[in-house]
Amino acid sequence: MKADYGEHDAILIARCMMQIKAKFDTDEVAGDPGFLQANDGSRSIKEELVRRAAHTGAVFRRNNQKFWVMLHAVTHETDAYNHVGEFAPTLNGRAAYFTLFAQYRGRGHFTNEHQAAVRVLATLHWNGKARGFTWHTFISRLIGAFNDLKLKGDPRSNANKVEVLLEKTVGDSSLSNGRSHITGDAVLQSNSQGAIDYLTTQVLQSQSKSDRMSWKIRSRGTKRDVRLSRKVNLIYSRFNCQMTKILK
């Protein structure tokens, strides 16, 4: 590769590095020292961004495809391509990389990653009450765990993904109607993304309703305070008038 990188090249390389980081969910890493903290006491911002890059969404898919193009360029005329050629139709650079990693470094790494993904599914829950833990974060971790299981040769069916989604959201009573709807819909029962989209709509509606209710309560409180203040001022004014008459 070029020795003198331009700005575009640096951005491309930084983005592609996201595809090969070892852990998709840093909160589940045992002994994780925390944000911008490595074992030696420091971590660069670039390293932290790579460590926390999401493995879902349009940006990830685009970068994953770019990484496949780079990987294809260095393997397509070598024996290594025999191990990654199957990923050409989907342009899945991350899966191709881990396949090469397993081939040349052993599958012990894959065992650890599989256990980490299973652990995420076992501990992940949504009740809508945890501060700082958003619905987007919950869904990102859930999808990330499913994706990692697939990469490790343990794919979950759409029906199983929907079942897990319903199980993990049972703590949020505002989604009870949404869960009932999905349970009774044969199409959504086998469409994990459709089920996620449906519950996402329910969450947004619930949050909007909660925001409106909070505003009404604050508004009522403000009006009540204004009325009380007026009454106090009126009483005080009358009291002053009476005292003035008495003291004359």
- Does residue 195 fall inside a structural domain? no
Please check whether residue 182 lies inside any domain of the structure.
no
Q: What does 169-236 look like in DSSP terms, one character per residue?
A: TTT-GGGHHHHHHHHT-HHHHT-HHHHHHHHHHHHHHHHHHHHHHHHHHHHHHHHHHHHHHHHHHHHH
Q: Is the pLDDT of residue 153 over 60?
A: yes
Amino acid 95: pLDDT: 84
Report whether pLDDT(200) > 90. Answer: yes
- Per-residue pLDDT for 80 more than 90? no
Residue 115 lies inside a defined structural domain of this protein: yes
- What proportion of the chain, given as a percentage, has pLDDT over 70? 62
| Structure token pair of residue 39 | 């074992």
Q: Which of 56, 229, 70 is nearest to 145 (CA)?
A: 56
Backbone angles phi, psi at 156, to 5 degrees: -105, 140
Residues 224-235 have a mean pLDDT of 66
Does residue 61 register a pLDDT over 60? Answer: yes
DSSP letter at 119 equals H
pTM over 0.75: no
Q: Can you give the pLDDT at residue 18?
A: 46
The answer to the question of residue 69 being in a domain is yes
The residue among 46 and 15 whose pLDDT is bigger is 46
Average pLDDT of the segment spanning 141-160: 86
Q: Measured between alpha carbons, how far is 53 from 55 in angstroms, rounded to an integer?
A: 7
Residue 206 lies in a domain: no
Q: What is the identity of the amino acid at 55?
A: H
Residues ≥6 apart with Cβ < 8 Å to 158: 190, 191, 192
Whether 234 is in a domain gets the answer: no
Task: Give the residue numbers spanning the domain of 147.
Answer: 7-156
**Distances 133 to 88, 124, 208 between C-alpha atoms, Å:** 36, 11, 17
Average pLDDT on 59-75 reads 90
**What does the pLDDT read at residue 214?**
53
Number of structural domains, the chain? 1
Residue 182 has pLDDT above 70, yes or no: yes
Residue 79 pLDDT: 84
Q: Does residue 213 fall inside a structural domain?
A: no
Torsion of CA 241, 242, 246, 248, to 10 degrees: 10
- Band of pLDDT at residue 78, cut at 50, 70 and 90: confident
If you average pLDDT over residues 51-80, what whole number do you get? 85
Looking at residues 4-10, what average pLDDT do you find? 45
pLDDT of 15 over the 60 cut:
no
d(CA 46, CA 90): 28
- Domain for residue 98, yes or no? yes
Q: What is the mean pLDDT of the chain?
A: 76
| From 23-27, 59-63, 240-244, the region with the lowest mean pLDDT | 23-27
Percentage of the chain exceeding pLDDT 90 = 25
**Helix-helix angle 176-183:158-168, to 10 degrees:** 160
